[in-house]
Amino acid sequence: MPASTAPEPGEVSDSDLVKRCQAGDTRAFDVLVSRYRGKVYAMTYHMIQNETEAWDLSQEAFIKAWRAMPNFKLDSAFYTWLYRITHNVTYDWLRKKKMHGDGEFDDSRTEHRVAAGAEAVPRNEPAPDIALKNAELGKRINDAIAKLSPEHKQVILLREVEGLAYEEIAQTIPCSLGTVMSRLFYARKKLQEMLKDAYENAL
């Protein structure tokens, strides 16, 4: 479960605000937006790595959440539910982008190669003499994440950034537990491959 579902002591609970939203109260929704916009934005930003698009997609996620509010039965935490909506909005956007010919993150070929044995991939870049600085590593990580397929990006972010358990990831996507594990493994393998020289040279 995302750690952020509980509001600070003294604040109105998410479920109270949700009930007010379901009664048509847009001001209650404004409180929820303020409470979760930073998380929603971070999630979309990590997925698409573009500030403007992430901003717009975060807006879209909240609007979709508002529209879906009457159907939300409070059977899960509000944030988990909002998270699924955000995730779907972002994932759809990525899929559409992929369908429109941008193959930037089509890593299916890489997946095959990694599965066959990542250790065999030769390094072309000469090893730098010094360890990568923190900021450089950050950039490398972002670049590597950007190159993952939407499916792999998704599981990595849900696990590493949001700290979701496998079961929760499976519910969010949704998919089987086996698929979660399989995707997580291959996503990590690909990242490992892309970041390998950074780590080896930094060691």
Q: Which is nearer to another protein, 4 or 201 (CB)?
A: 4
Question: In degrees rounded to 5, what are phi and psi of residue 18?
Answer: -60, -45
Q: For another protein, which stretch binds (CB under 8 A), given 74-82, 95-103, 123-131, 139-147?
A: 139-147
Residue from 160, 175, 197, 201 that binds another protein (CB under 8 A)? 160
> Distance between CA 72 and CA 79 in Å, rounded?
12
> Distance between CA 111 and CA 147 in Å, rounded?
12
**Residue 59 in the binding site for another protein (CB under 8 A):** yes
Among 94, 80, 98, 109, residue whose Cα is nearest residue 174: 80
**Residue 4 in the binding site for another protein (CB under 8 A):** yes
Residues in 107-126 at the binding interface with another protein, rule: CB under 8 A: 117
**Residue 57 in the binding site for another protein (CB under 8 A):** no
**Residue 129 in the binding site for another protein (CB under 8 A):** no
Residue from 39, 84, 87, 190 that binds another protein (CB under 8 A)? 39
Helices then strands, counting H and E runs in the chain, come out as: 9, 0
**Residue 66 in the binding site for another protein (CB under 8 A):** yes
**Residue 21 in the binding site for another protein (CB under 8 A):** yes
Q: Kindly state the smallest distance separating residue 154's Cβ from another protein, in Å.
A: 13
Among 143, 124, 141, residue whose Cα is nearest residue 133: 141
Helical (H) or strand (E) element with 39: helix 26-48
Q: Which is nearer to another protein, 100 or 148 (CB)?
A: 148
Using CA atoms, how far residue 173 sits from 14, 21, 48, 100, in Å, is 23, 25, 17, 22
Question: In degrees rounded to 5, what are phi and psi of residue 85?
Answer: -65, -50
> Distance between CA 88 and CA 98 in Å, rounded?
15
**Residue 171 in the binding site for another protein (CB under 8 A):** no
Residues binding another protein (CB under 8 A): 4, 7-8, 10-12, 16, 20-31, 33-35, 37-39, 41-42, 45-46, 51, 55, 58-59, 62-63, 66-67, 69-70, 117, 137-138, 141-142, 145, 156-157, 159-163, 165-166, 181-182, 184-185, 188, 191-192, 195, 199
